[in-house]
Amino acid sequence: SLRDDAYAGQLSLALGRSRIAANGRLGDTLTLDARFAPLQLDDLLPHAGGALQGTLHLAGARTAPDVATELHGSGLSFGGYRAGTLDAHGRLPWRGGTGTLVVDARDLVAGVALDRLHLAGRGAVESLQFDAQASGAPGALATSASLARRGGRWQGTLAQLQLAPAKGAHWSLQAPARFAQASNGWQLSSACLRGSGGGTLCASADWPRRGIEVTGDGLPLSLATPWLPSRNDGQAWLLDGAIALQAQLRPAGSGWHGALHGSSAAGSLRTGQGARGDLVAYSQLALDATFDPQRLTATLGAGLNGNGRVDAHLSTGWDAYAPLSGTLSLRTDALTWMELLSPDIVAPTGTLDARLGLGGTRAAPTLGGQAHLARFRTELPALAITLDDGDLRLDALPDGSARLRGSLRSGEGTLALDGTLGWRNSESPLQLSVRGRNVLASDTRDLRAVIDPDVQVRYVGGQALTVGGTVGVPSARIALERLDRGVAASPDVVVLDPAKPGARDIATPVALDLTLALGDDVHLDGYGLTGTLGGNLHVRSAPGRAMTASGMLDVGGRYTAYGQKLDITRGRLSWNNGPIDDPLLDLRAERAIGDVTAGIDVTGHATRPQAEVWSDPASDQSQALALLALGRPLSTASEQETQQVNAASAALSAGGSLLASQLGAKIGLDTAGVSESRALGGNVLGIGKYLSPRVYVGYGVSLLGSGQVLTLKYLIRRGVDVEIESSTVENRASLNWRKEK
């Protein structure tokens, strides 16, 4: 009913799945009782969802009513807001009285995603004690405050505030801070937060007249540690030093005025407590920045790494066509930070001098100037080489590219680098040519190689690094057995104080299209082979694909088999665009015994080799094998020698040790193949596994059918082990000592 300015009535509504009952009166005062049983939001709003169920009661002045409610919501959504569940219960008078109103929400999205939100108000709206707790992926927040209305204006006190981000330091309010409504804005007394890692951050405001002022005192640089890029070894960076900040922000028309000043007496970055030195160290750092609706200006200056210096200046506007002006001046002779570029670089030295200028507009910046790295030297311990006499130059060009030129000496040769770096042309940001002669590429005990590279490197962001060209190898010494010792440590091995712990991750995939040209001075040694290697091999690889090869390599020299030295008279390994680990074999090794020549031929693919023993004049395989292994006919051999020859013949017929070792690798064994057992007095076909780096267990079956043997080895220390053999013939124990020379 309608009477004067007052309205009274009741409502019973069934709309879709919603059921609403309400009655009330609206005039100078407001009275409303509503029941939702339930209210489906999508029945009323097209872009809403979820359901509300319960009661709502409003009573009092129409602009300041008392509130009482018992509501439950689930699956609520409207626009970009979401709530998995929402509960509101209690009563809260507007003024003059006391009550409690509690709101709980879960799985909430309201500008930020929260797992849980709890709000509790006690007292009356105009004299309110307020508590709030929120938690979610960003972190956790807990606060308590009081709010009151005096003389028509709101004022209050922030009593407690605890902020615990998911990443970074925790912050807590040091002392209560007051806030109040001013004539045309708000005021905040100094509110200071103290970090769990040290330092304080304070804020005060007179908005909008003076704006907001923020000061930071003794803020440790370690506050930034969680935000630094993660390291491959999983360790944390070590930041040392502290910084002080002063900042102001106030509105200016439709824009903002602001200023920032930062200063720090000293600071450094290193990889850990045991690091040899600082990656970067600075002194007397000063940072100043100002901005207004038209322009942004910033300057930076600091001493760098002892006697070095860095200075930078930037000035620009806000729109894309605003002029851009900047300079960077840097000089340092401490280059430890280069170790970040590669885990292989150790102890780099030299002098870096850069003078760069920034111009153009924000939409089309230009870079000019030069950077020069002189007297560069670094060690590459993994390759046992030192690069020195390095001289690298970068000349920035107005077209958005930079010319790269330089040289590095390794051994008796020099690498020459020449290329371009472009940041505007996304098709070819990096193109580099690497050439040299007699460059020492490796000088380890397992590989010494001198190369003549003529290689082109190209990189496009988001794609594989492509490497193509030719690498000549005029000279090399390859220790095959040492190269084959690349076995991963057992999980129970603990490395104490490694220089650079952790595995290396390959961040950028590589595509190869290289030709290897082996010269006349490439020598192999190991596994019974003392020989040479020559020929050309064209290798290709792409990310996610196996490496393939085309070409032929020739092997020559002498090979020790069956206890005898054999001359390699034919040694060809050929590829026809097939897997690089499966060449086609055509090998012959032979020896002369008087007027008789005995030898062995190996043909077929490396994964399925076929071996044949022969003699000239021709004889059966056992006779040929006796000539090859003993240097005389089988009829003149002793009983033990005859058994050994027969065992070798049986192994050869069964596919040999190579086939067994390939099978063992497939099923995760460490050893598999034909070996000698002293307990059985002959050769066995056996398998074995390292249970730990110190304990080895093996099992073998005699090729002559004379029994089985179980072997246990325990490494006492390097070069000293205990070996126990238990067989069907006898049991043996031995203490073995080996010394490498």
pLDDT of residue 715: 81
Give strand ranges (E) for 397-464: 401-410, 413-422, 430-437, 439-443, 447-459
Query: Token pair of 293, please?
Result: 């609706």
Cα 176 to chain centroid distance, Å, stands at: 43
Domain assignment present for 624: no
Q: Under 8 Å CB-to-CB from 99, ≥6 apart: which residues?
A: 66, 68, 90, 91, 92, 93, 122, 123, 124
- Pairwise CA distance, residues 485 & 674, whole Å: 19
CB-based contact 159:146 (threshold 8 Å) = yes
CB-based contact 559:526 (threshold 8 Å) = no
Domain assignment present for 547: no
Q: Under 8 Å CB-to-CB from 625, ≥6 apart: which residues?
A: 562, 598, 613, 645, 648, 649, 652
**What is the DSSP-derived secondary structure letter of residue 545?**
S
User: Has this prediction a pTM greater than 0.85?
Assistant: no
**What is the DSSP-derived secondary structure letter of residue 394?**
E
CB-based contact 440:411 (threshold 8 Å) = yes
Domain assignment present for 35: yes
Full residue range of the structural domain in which residue 670 is found = 638-741
In this structure, are 132 and 242 located in the same domain? Answer: no
Q: Which helix (H) or strand (E) holds 391?
A: strand 385-396
pLDDT of residue 510: 85
DSSP per position, 136-187:
ETTEEEEEEEEEEEETTEEEEEEEEEEEEESSS--EEESS-EEEEE-SSSEE
- The pLDDT averaged over each successive group of 10 residues in the chain (741 residues) is 64 88 86 92 89 93 91 92 95 90 94 93 94 94 94 91 93 95 88 94 92 95 88 81 95 89 94 78 96 94 92 94 94 88 86 93 88 94 92 87 92 93 70 94 91 92 86 90 49 40 56 92 83 91 87 88 78 89 87 85 82 82 70 56 53 46 50 68 70 78 66 79 80 72 49
Query: Token pair of 669, please?
Result: 């064994």
Domain assignment present for 240: yes
Q: Which helix (H) or strand (E) holds 469?
A: strand 465-479
Which of 324, 354, 382 is a domain's end point? 382
Domain assignment present for 147: no
End-to-end CA distance of the chain: 111
- Pairwise CA distance, residues 417 & 428, whole Å: 17
Place of tokens 């009741």: 10
Which of 349, 367, 382 is a domain's end point? 382
How, if at all, do strands 139-150 and 127-136 pair?
antiparallel
Query: How many domains does the chain fold into?
Result: 3
Domain assignment present for 690: yes
**What is the DSSP-derived secondary structure letter of residue 583?**
P
Which of 119, 137, 155 is a domain's end point? 137
Query: Token pair of 688, please?
Result: 């074995």
- Radius of gyration from C-alpha coordinates of the chain: 40
3-state SS string for 219-267? EEHHHHHHHCCCCCCCCCCEEEEEEEEEEEEEEECCEEEEEEEEEEEEE
Cα 720 to chain centroid distance, Å, stands at: 39
In this structure, are 240 and 375 located in the same domain? Answer: yes
Q: Dihedral sign for Cα 380, 384, 389, 392, please.
A: negative
Crossing angle of helices 656-666 and 639-653, in 10° steps, is 50
Query: Token pair of 290, please?
Result: 């100002």
Domain assignment present for 367: yes
In this structure, are 124 and 255 located in the same domain? Answer: no
CB-based contact 468:514 (threshold 8 Å) = yes
CB-based contact 418:404 (threshold 8 Å) = yes
Query: Token pair of 246, please?
Result: 């002063």
Residue 196 has phi, psi (to 5 degrees) of -65, -25
What Cα–Cα distance (Å) separates residue 205 from each residue in 189, 213, 684? Answer: 7, 6, 87
Domain assignment present for 275: yes
**Neighbouring-strand partners of residue 532:** 523, 556
pLDDT of residue 206: 92
Cα 16 to chain centroid distance, Å, stands at: 54
pLDDT of residue 636: 53
Q: Under 8 Å CB-to-CB from 498, ≥6 apart: which residues?
A: none
Cα 440 to chain centroid distance, Å, stands at: 30
**Neighbouring-strand partners of residue 92:** 67
Rounded to 5°, the CA angle 437-442-446 comes to 140
